[in-house]
Chains A and B, each alone.
Chain A
Amino acid sequence: MKKRVGVLALQGAFREHRQVLEKLGCDVTEVRRTSDLDGIQGLIIPGGESTTIGKLLIIDEMGERIKELGAKDMPIFGTCAGMILLSKTIVDSDQYRLNLMDTVVERNAFGRQVASFETDLQVPALGVNPLRAVFIRAPYLKEVAPNVGILAEYNGKIVFVRQGNLLASAFHPELTPDNRVHQYFLNMIDEH
């Protein structure tokens, strides 16, 4: 049986996630309306603008439905903007969020676009080979609760975490040909 995975398609780089998931043998649903959430086994919240996606999540109460599914243990993976939306606390912002992870996120934490970068990250959970990670106006996690597992740091800053059924990265695994992060997320669906 193919896994049915949703990719939130309100704004941002959802097509790239779709392509990776299809390469890994999933059935992909682009989630634009609340009814698109029916029947999916996992959800990816892509990179994009967290304020834009947040505004569009309010319509149709889609955000509330995603919150319920996340609280019921459906695996959810947020990249960059997705990490911001999953966090309970966003430094200096009252923007809309899903409020699911016990993390404190700082937006645009590495600076503006001219400071965006790519680098090799050590991620023990994915094996010994480093992961090429692309950071675009990226956030990082200033603080995480003890129940949040840290999967990777960059220069002492937390950039990749897991809390139970929730996964979040400050970088964009969908922009590189290395599929290990998505495979890790699909394994979370299997465990579920």
Chain B
Amino acid sequence: MTDIGSFKVKTGLAEMLKGGVIMDVTTPEQAIIAEEAGACAVMALERVPSDIRAEGGVARMADPSIIKNIMEVVSIPVMAKARIGHFVEARILEALGADYIDESEVLTPADDSYHINKHDFKVPFVCGCRNLGEALRRIGEGAAMIRTKGEPGTGNVVEAVRHMRTVMSEMRALTLMPQEELMTAAKDMGAPYDLVLYVAEHGKLPVVNFAAGGIATPADAALMMQLGVDGIFVGSGIFKSGDPKARAKAIVMATTHYKDAKLLAEISKDLGQPMSGIEISTLTESQRMQERGW
């Protein structure tokens, strides 16, 4: 029996992306630079997160022609973002042939109570999380891949680190709990019970988990890999830096050789200016993208 769009097939692509770097791009030229640098996929966008911050207004799904043009020039998978809860944007992206949809808090949410029912789609979804309960709710809704939210467009890795450490320590705690405590744990974190049982037994998520939000240097990428993520999303960190080509290549190498400090020292040399960045404590609550998602 042949089966298209099964959960195995949806999670399978995320498995193949592991150990790799997914780069935000806004033009075909940037997509080619990303592929040349060794990106394992690109995320097609109208504006990178730091521009969304700078320009304000409502951030939506990219124009389909931007996505089409990018799909035409690269052979690696092309992802695209839909607003939280905007299942029609997601249907459009699926119809265009996007390889993965990111239901993303970087865009202005379309629904402030409900996320997309991702089981309903053949195309796989990636969703953001700040803690284990949020990760398991997204997987319960059908997400085939998870990423930390971090704080996009800031060039500051501190939130991605916080989110990854939180997920990891909450998973470790579940593995040590006696069976009778797991239902209360599920209630307290607002997570589906069957998925809580899965994590308690296996000590890991049932899907691939990437780092995102604030990664700006090869050292940031290697740090996230050492904290236990499966791969890296980089947005503004590359194309808002002084030398995107060199930086993109260096971040790819750092993600592969994340434990090799000597090599990381070599890779980190002479990359030009990193993006200037934003100190997160200067953001008001409404400016914090990580607060979006329910």
Contacts and interface: CB of A to CB of B under 8 A. Distances in A.
A120 B98 CA distance: 26
A11 B4 contact: no
Contact of B40 (A49, A114, A120): A49
Given A9-B19, A13-B16, A52-B76, A117 B38 contact: no
A10 interface: yes
Interface string A37-58: 0000000000111011001100
A118 B97 CA distance: 19
Given A11-B20, A114-B94, A114-B97, A47 B15 contact: yes
A48 B3 CA distance: 21
Contacts of B6: 117-118
A55 to B, nearest CB: 4
B252 interface: yes
Interface stretch (A105-113, A156-164, A182-190): A105-113
A71 to B, nearest CB: 25
Interface residues of B, number: 41
Contacts of B256: 9-11, 32, 56
A85 to B, nearest CB: 14
A116 B4 contact: yes
B264 to A, nearest CB: 13
Contacts of A15: 18
Interface in B258-272: 260
A59 interface: yes
Q: Which of B4, B19, B98 has the most CB of A within 10 A?
A: B19
Interface in B1-47: 1-6, 8-9, 12-13, 15-20, 35-41
Interface of B: 1-6, 8-9, 12-13, 15-20, 35-41, 71, 75-77, 94, 97-100, 122-124, 252-253, 255-257, 260
